[in-house]
Structure 1
Amino acid sequence: MSSQGPPSDSPPDSARQRLLGDVIAHLTAHGIGDVSLRQLATAIGTSHRMLIYHFGSRDGLLVEVVRAMEEQQRAAFAEMRREPATSAAELGRRMWRQLRQPELAPFERLFFEIYTQALQGRAYAQPLLDGVVDDWLGPMTDFLTRDGLEPTAARAQARLSLAATRGLLLDLLATGDQEGVDQAMEHMLTLFTHLTRSGDREPR
């Protein structure tokens, strides 16, 4: 590995972040597959040496891609939570409208690709499994509890909702049936409303 760093007029952190952004843009458009570090470097207009300098290896780079993806998702969710929402169902509709945008489809394909590789035990992808469910359950449970569900029921509903949302995104990627998945999501959100209005409680 070369000891030579990036040009002296380019701060290392800035150069690293720019490269990471370029890699994420390329992978969201084309997927991971068996792409090599050299192929990635060529595709984004840099050198294999620069990617090695900043990320160490292909797997090291993909770890950073996973982490950046999760950070972007958390930031988008946090921003949405700051906007007034009349109910958990309304927040769910806002989230779904954002997630279903066609321009996000490449990002979602990449998410599922890395998720699958994590489940297959690929070491580089393992960080995705840390918090991939639990980090979302707290905020979702809070909204459902605020809507009237008991905490245990709210957490169970949050987990079901997260799984259903990811399943519908996968359905949309596989079938392209926008109308069908929209109807399924609306049906689930309508059930939310019925649950919270009935004040569903934990078993005693």
Structure 2
Amino acid sequence: MTDDAAPGDKASRRATLAGQAAELILQNGLGNMGLRGLARQLQTSDRMLLYYFGTKEALVIETLARVGEKFRSLLGRYSDGPRLPPGRFVAQVLAMGRDPAVAPYMRVWTELIARTAAGEAPYGTIAQKAVSDWLTWIESRLVPDPAHPERPAALLSIIEGVTFLEIASPGATRQVEQYLTQALDAQ
């Protein structure tokens, strides 16, 4: 494609590339997210990726936004039913994390947090948006408790911790779900 391509064609190709890159990230993780390697997997060149996205940062932001959109859509399957007390909610989310359709998103989430902790740009900005989305979704699924506005963040911390431990040592959190359900709902 040349620089004088119709704006709609360029936008369409950019959207296609972002969607394909999102699928690759869900399959393989963030990896090194290098332009050359990603371009090779997308069967294009790094120069063409820069043509469509302008910068590597813009490519990362748009691709991870696509991953986030897909995840929010997937969360819709787990958003039906009554609001839950904290323990049952955590149990539901931990079970959700074992769903083969959800597991790749959880892996990407952990990689995103690790890159944010390492100070890599633009992951911090993306992580802030992801945390905000998580907290909004968690709040929408819990039985309301205005006396404890910290609950969504506390529960996300628990979910993150269990997710990290399970990725690091599969099976290490096998009994955690039952314990957390009882402990959190006892309060």
Class of the TM-score when normalised by the shorter of the 2 chains: 0.7 to 0.9
Please report how far the alpha carbon of residue 127 of structure 1 lies from its aligned counterpart in structure 2 after TM superposition.
2.0
Match of 1:87 in 2: 84
Say yes or no: does 1:190 pair with 2:182. yes
**Helix, strand or coil for the counterpart of 1:151?**
coil
Q: Deviations over 1:144-164 (max 9, x none)?
A: 443xxx4232x3332221111
Match of 1:60 in 2: 58
Count residues in correspondence.
185
Q: For residues 184 and 11 of structure 1, what CA distance do their matches in structure 2 show?
A: 50
What is the TM-score when the length of structure 2 is the normalising length? Answer: 0.79
What is the TM-score when the length of structure 1 is the normalising length? Answer: 0.73
Note if contact 2:112-2:127 (Cα within 8 Å) is conserved in structure 1: no
> Which structure: larger Rg?
1
Distance 1:101 1:145, change over 3 A: closer
Please identify runs of 4+ aligned residues in structure 1 that moved more than 4 A: none
Name the structure, 1 or 2, with higher relative contact order (CA <8 Å, separation 6+): 2
Structure 2 unaligned regions, length at least 5: none
Q: For residues 114 and 139 of structure 1, what CA distance do their matches in structure 2 show?
A: 19
Q: For residues 33 and 130 of structure 2, what CA distance do their matches in structure 1 show?
A: 25
Match of 1:160 in 2: 154
Note if contact 1:32-1:110 (Cα within 8 Å) is conserved in structure 2: yes
Structure 1 unaligned regions, length at least 5: 196-204
Spell out the pairing of 1:137-152 with structure 2 (5 A cutoff): 137-146=135-144, 150-152=145-147
Alpha-carbon RMSD: 2.9
**Helix, strand or coil for the counterpart of 2:47?**
helix
Q: Deviations over 1:136-194 (max 9, x none)?
A: 33443454443xxx4232x33322211111111111111111xx424212321222322
Q: For residues 94 and 15 of structure 1, what CA distance do their matches in structure 2 show?
A: 38
**Helix, strand or coil for the counterpart of 1:152?**
coil
- Identity across matched positions, percent: 22
**Helix, strand or coil for the counterpart of 2:150?**
helix
Q: What amino acid maps onto 2:182 in structure 1?
A: T
Q: Deviations over 1:51-107 (max 9, x none)?
A: 1222112222111122223333333334432x1136334444433322222454443
Deviates more, 1:123-132 or 1:158-167: 123-132
